[in-house]
Amino acid sequence: MRITALAGGVGGARFLRGLLRHLSRTTSPEHLEHEPVELTVIGNTGDDITLFGLRVCPDIDTLLYTLGGGIHEGQGWGRADETHHLAEELAALGATPQWFTLGDKDFATHVFRSQLLGQGMPLSAVVERLSARWGLGEQGVTLLPMTDTPVETHVVVADGDGSRAIHFQEWWVRHRAELPAERFVVAGLDRAAPAPGVLEAIRGADVVLLPPSNPVVSIGIILGVPGIRDALRGTRAPVVGVSPLVGGRPVRGHADVCLRTIGVAETSEAVAGLYADFLDGWLVDEDDPMRPRSGLEVVHRPLLMSSGEAAADLAGAALDTALRLRAGRTIA
Amino acid sequence: MRITALAGGVGGARFLRGLLRHLSRTTSPEHLEHEPVELTVIGNTGDDITLFGLRVCPDIDTLLYTLGGGIHEGQGWGRADETHHLAEELAALGATPQWFTLGDKDFATHVFRSQLLGQGMPLSAVVERLSARWGLGEQGVTLLPMTDTPVETHVVVADGDGSRAIHFQEWWVRHRAELPAERFVVAGLDRAAPAPGVLEAIRGADVVLLPPSNPVVSIGIILGVPGIRDALRGTRAPVVGVSPLVGGRPVRGHADVCLRTIGVAETSEAVAGLYADFLDGWLVDEDDPMRPRSGLEVVHRPLLMSSGEAAADLAGAALDTALRLRAGRTIA
Whether A138 and A163 share a structural domain: no
Strands A152-159 and A162-167: antiparallel
Question: Cβ contact (<8 Å) for B53 and A118?
Answer: yes
> Does the beta carbon of A332 lie under 8 angstroms from any beta carbon of chain B?
no
H or E element: which one contains A255? Answer: helix A255-261
Task: Find the closest chain A residue to B112 by CA distance.
Answer: A52
What CATH number corresponds to the domain at position A281?
3.40.50.10680
B167 within a domain of the structure (yes/no) = yes
Whether B235 and B168 share a structural domain: no
CA distance linking residue A90 with residue B177, whole number of Å: 33
Q: With contacts defined as CB-CB under 8 Å, which chain A residues touch B109?
A: 89, 93
Question: Cβ contact (<8 Å) for B111 and A85?
Answer: no
Residue A206 phi, psi (nearest 5): -90, -30
- Separation of CA B119 from chain center: 27
Q: With contacts defined as CB-CB under 8 Å, which chain B residues touch A88?
A: 105, 108
Q: With contacts defined as CB-CB under 8 Å, which chain B residues touch A118?
A: 53
CA distance linking residue A18 with residue A16, whole number of Å: 5
Q: How many domains does chain B have?
A: 2
CA distance linking residue B2 with residue B250, whole number of Å: 29
Interface of B with A in 36-55 (CB under 8 A): 52-54
> Does the beta carbon of A127 lie under 8 angstroms from any beta carbon of chain B?
no
CA distance linking residue A239 with residue A258, whole number of Å: 23
User: Which of B222, B216, B205, B63 is closest to B134 using CA atoms?
Assistant: B63
State pLDDT tens for residues A210-253.
999 999 999 999 999 999 999 999 999 999 999 999 988 998 88
Whether B231 and B301 share a structural domain: yes
Single-letter residue type at B246: V
Whether A255 and A269 share a structural domain: yes
The dihedral sign for the CA sequence A29, A35, A36, A41:
negative
B115 within a domain of the structure (yes/no) = yes
Whether A59 and A80 share a structural domain: yes
The band of A35, judged by pLDDT with boundaries at 50, 70 and 90, is confident
CA distance linking residue A100 with residue A36, whole number of Å: 40
Task: Find the closest chain A residue to B96 by CA distance.
Answer: A112
At residue A331, does pLDDT exceed 90? no
Report the pLDDT value the prediction gives residue B287, as an integer from 0 to 100: 95
Whether B269 and B284 share a structural domain: yes
Report the pLDDT value the prediction gives residue A251, as an integer from 0 to 100: 83
Mean predicted confidence (pLDDT) in A104-118: 98
Count of other CB atoms within 10 angstroms of residue A272: 20
How close is the nearest chain B Cα to the Cα of A244, in Å? Answer: 33
Mean predicted confidence (pLDDT) in A154-165: 93
CA distance linking residue A169 with residue B187, whole number of Å: 41
Report the pLDDT value the prediction gives residue B35, as an integer from 0 to 100: 76
Whether A13 and A136 share a structural domain: yes
Report the pLDDT value the prediction gives residue A30, as an integer from 0 to 100: 60
Interface of A with B in 134-173 (CB under 8 A): none
Q: A161 lies in which domain range?
A: 153-186
> Does the beta carbon of B96 lie under 8 angstroms from any beta carbon of chain A?
no
Report the pLDDT value the prediction gives residue B33, as an integer from 0 to 100: 54
B260 within a domain of the structure (yes/no) = no
Report the pLDDT value the prediction gives residue A293, as an integer from 0 to 100: 86
Classify residue B283 by burial, with Cβ atoms within 10 Å: 0-12, 13-18, 19+.
buried
Q: Which stretches of chain B drop beneath a pLDDT of 70?
A: 27-34, 330-332
Question: Cβ contact (<8 Å) for B111 and A115?
Answer: no
The dihedral sign for the CA sequence A118, A121, A127, A131:
negative
State pLDDT tens for residues B129-151.
999 999 999 999 999 999 999 99
CA distance linking residue A63 with residue A10, whole number of Å: 7
State pLDDT tens for residues A241-290.
999 999 889 988 899 999 999 999 999 999 999 999 999 999 999 999 99
- Separation of CA A42 from chain center: 8
CA distance linking residue B297 with residue B281, whole number of Å: 5
**Helix/strand/coil (H, E, C) string of B2-14?**
EEEEEECCHHHHH
Q: Which residues pair with A145 in a beta bridge?
A: A43
Report the pLDDT value the prediction gives residue A27, as an integer from 0 to 100: 59
Mean predicted confidence (pLDDT) in A44-50: 97
Report the pLDDT value the prediction gives residue A243, as an integer from 0 to 100: 98
How close is the nearest chain B Cα to the Cα of A133, in Å? Answer: 6
Whether A301 and A249 share a structural domain: yes
Whether A140 and A162 share a structural domain: no
User: What SS3 state is found at B164?
Assistant: strand
Whether A32 and A53 share a structural domain: yes
